[in-house]
A and B are shown apart, each in its own frame.
Chain A
Amino acid sequence: MALGLSLTMLTLIVLIPLAALALRAAALGPTGLYELVFDPRVFAALKISFLTALAAAIANAIFGTLTAWVLVRYDFFGRRIFDALIDLPFAMPTAVAGIALTTVYSPKGLIGEWLTPLGIKVAYTPLGIIVALIAVGFPFVVRTVQPVLEEISRETEEVSATLGANRLQTIFFVVLPPLIPAILTGFALALARGVGEYGSVIFIAGNLPFKSEIAPLLIVIKLEEFNYAGATAIAAVMLAISFLMLFLINGIQSWSQKRFGHG
């Protein structure tokens, strides 16, 4: 019963629409699809989407791991509130995040006004897109690393010290390696989210074709122009990227399962 229901659900809301999309894209034919995707503006948008998402995911892998470390290992005033706030980007409407970030980072904004004299422009540039993607992708790495870190006892670090390892050796040889699968999973999730992110980005990006226009926005633009074929082609490419990420995540998880006996 439960299996039947979930399979039906999955078919209705995921499989059929995706199959329809793939079919439509296939109807364009290989050359048609190629021409649409490698249209300079489309290609640029895909590139911007992917590269900014990559940069944001890398930043999140580093700072997310650090944040997870702080949450697990330090006890400070307001830790629980801080812990709860991490999930805010998941809960908040993305448009709200976009507007808030734009306000703060625009040349006249709270932070932007300090950055402008330094020659750093955040809002309306690819840098702005990265900032927005860091914000919405932040919880992924924290939440995948945190539980694994909680399982690593302080005793392993202490034992490492008694064996003569200094702090850096302990961190790089003892603490980090078991975290790598979790960090990579979080990284891949943040990357996947970043590539498809729309709401938070369009406000801060400025959306200049070839400079700060993202692929999801281009789909909307094509649709508004009634260019269904063009929209479908971009959508198909993004779908392919998503599948690739999914395989990547699963690969990491099964590798880590074999290696460490946990996911």
Chain B
Amino acid sequence: MDIRIDKIRKEFGDFPALHDVSLNIRSGELIALLGPSGSGKTTLLRLVAGLEYPSQGRILFGEEDASWKSVQERNVGFVFQHYALFKHMTVFDNVAFGLRVRGSKDRPPKAEIRRRVEELIDMVQLSGMENRYPGQLSGGQRQRVALARAMAIEPRVLLLDEPFGALDAKVRKDLRKWLREFHDRTGHTTLFVTHDQEEALELADRVVVMSQGKIEQVGSADDIYDRPQSDFVFSFVGDSAKLPVTATNGEVLFKGAQTGLRTSAANGEKHIFFRPRDIVLQEDGPAFEGRILSMRRLAGARIAEIDAGLGEGAERVEIELPLGVPAEQGNVIRFLPHRYAIF
């Protein structure tokens, strides 16, 4: 099912949670909504589900305008971070719930419900646990019950709100991989919300980066990491270093001096962003110059904190030093980023 989010605006009282958000989702895509808390990602998910209604704009399921459809009519599968299982029901009854509450017209016969529920329980690898109560399951198992329950109604779209947020690191990794395989097998259009960039980049076909109620960038993991379109995306996804610079007629100046770097940005006060590892040390010629304030060793690299610009008004920045280069605290080094962006 294609989903089109068309200029959605949502306010809670006076607080604008989403401003004019538009997004096209293709059928069968696995989409991550990534952003810090308060960025509006969960609100967007709830709007698609019908748990909230937009203040303005439309949400289309295929060609059908679903903006004002009730949550029951939308037929979406929703999975919450804390599972929201029905504690007084067994695993089987939880999964069967969506089929049993249907009107007598649409309700499959008992035997059919049993068959489908057992199939789903098998699919989420919980066979033999049909008669357990949620209280007797581990976190990862509970989340899979929640997923099977959402799948039981054959939803048009699957919506997951921080699906791995409440699990510990190991289970999280396993379940992440498992979800990817599950998605590839079932082919459901899936949206999931996360604040964990690793999760978003690893799992999703496309990542939607959000901040302060707006979409900053939509793209593949490569697009987002290698070609960030805004200062927010650059600093939110992956490690980044940031220095204030001036753009003058295509030249990049740092504290009034030429750096030899070029930009297509308009003239004015800007910032240069680069990954700490995308630097080359310079013997002579124009460069950023700074003294090493401290060094830390990570597994495969050395990270140096530099006071770029030296002396008065120096800017602290972290860069990664190649392992072969002799350097210690107090040394002055000169470097230029070989990949960078100016915003």
Q: Which residues of A contact B88 (CB under 8 A)?
A: 177-178, 259-260
New A-B contacts (10) at CB < 8 Å, excluding given A165-B72, A173-B101, A177-B88: A155-B82, A160-B86, A161-B71, A161-B72, A162-B74, A162-B78, A164-B72, A166-B72, A169-B101, A173-B97
Residues of B near A162 (CB, < 8 A) are 49-51, 71-72, 74, 76-78, 150
Interface positions, chain B 76-120, Cβ under 8 Å from A, are: 76-78, 80, 82, 84-88, 97-98, 101-102
CB nearest to A161 among chain B residues? B71
**CB nearest neighbor in A for B74:** A162
Contact yes or no, B75 A164, CB < 8 A: yes
State in angstroms the CA–CA spacing of A260 and B89 once bound together.
9
Which one, B74, B84, B102, B133, contacts A159 given CB within 8 A? B84
B residues sitting closer than 8 Å to A (CB atoms) are 49-51, 71-72, 74-78, 80, 82, 84-88, 97-98, 101-102, 133, 135, 146, 149-150, 152-153
Distance of B165 from chain A, by nearest CB (Å): 13
Q: What's the minimum C-beta distance from B73 to chain A, rounded to whole angstroms? A: 9
19 A-B pairs with CB atoms under 8 Å apart are A153-B84, A158-B80, A159-B146, A161-B51, A162-B50, A162-B77, A162-B150, A163-B101, A163-B149, A163-B150, A164-B72, A164-B153, A165-B98, A165-B101, A166-B101, A169-B101, A173-B86, A178-B87, A260-B135
A residues near B (Cβ < 8 Å) are: 153, 155-156, 158-166, 169, 173-174, 177-178, 259-261
Report B-chain residues with C-beta under 8 Å of the C-beta of A178.
Answer: 87-88
* B84 in complex: contacting residue of A156, A169, A177, A261, CB < 8 Å: A156
In the assembled complex, the Cα of A166 lies from the Cα of B86 at a distance in Å of: 16
Residues on B with C-beta less than 8 A from A173 are 86, 97, 101
Q: Does the CB pair A158–B78 fall under 8 Å?
A: yes
Task: Name the residue on A nearest B106 (C-beta).
Answer: A164
Bound CA span A250–B338, Å: 74
On chain A, the residues within 8 Å of B71 by CB distance are: 158, 161-162
Chain A residues, Cβ within 8 Å of B78:
158-159, 162
| Majority DSSP secondary structure for residues of A touching B | helix
Q: Which of B80, B82, B87, B102 contacts A164 (CB 8 A)?
A: B102
For A163, the chain B residues whose CB sits under 8 A away are 97-98, 101, 149-150, 152-153
Q: Which residues of A contact B82 (CB under 8 A)?
A: 153, 155
**Inter-chain contacts of A174 with B (CB < 8 A):** 86
Shortest CB-to-CB span from A129 to chain B, Å, is: 36
Q: How far is the CA of A177 from the CA of B97 in the complex (A)?
A: 14
Q: Bound state CA distance, A166 and B73, in angstroms?
A: 10
Q: Are the C-beta atoms of B80 and A159 separated by less than 8 Å?
A: yes
B155, closest chain A residue (CB): A162
Q: How far is the CA of A6 from the CA of B173 in the complex (A)?
A: 52
Q: Could you tell me the distance between the alpha carbons of A93 and B50 in the complex, rounded to whole angstroms? A: 51
| Contact among B76, B87, B97 for A165, CB-based, below 8 A | B97
Given the complex of chains A and B, what is the CA–CA distance between A104 and B29 in angstroms? 68
CB closest chain-B residue, reference A164:
B72
Given A166-B72, A261-B135, A160 contacting B87 (CB threshold 8 A): no
- Cα A3 to Cα B212 in complex, Å, equals 58
How far apart are the CA atoms of A162 and B69 in the complex, in Å? Answer: 12
In the complex, the answer to whether A158 meets B51 with C-beta atoms within 8 Å is yes
A155 touches B80 (CB 8 A): yes
Are A260 and B72 closer than 8 Å at their CB atoms?
no
- Residues of B near A165 (CB, < 8 A) are 72, 97-98, 101
Which residue of chain A is the closest to B49 with respect to CB atoms? A162
B307 CB to closest chain A CB (Å) equals: 49
The 3 closest A-B pairs by CB, nearest first: A163-B98, A155-B84, A162-B78
Distance in angstroms between the alpha carbons of A169 and B76 in the assembled complex:
18
Please name all residues of chain B whose beta carbon is closer than 8 Å to the beta carbon of A164 when the two chains form the complex.
72, 75, 98, 101-102, 153
Residues of A within 8 A of B77 (CB): 162
- Write out the residue numbers on chain A whose beta carbons fall within 8 Å of the beta carbon of B133: 259-261
Complex Cα distance, B77 from A155, in Å, reads 13
Complex contact A158–B84 (CB within 8 A)? yes
Chain B proximity of A164: nearest CB distance (Å): 5
CB-CB < 8 A to A169: which residues of B? 101
From A152, which residue of chain B is reached at the shortest CB distance?
Answer: B87
Closest to B98 in A: A163
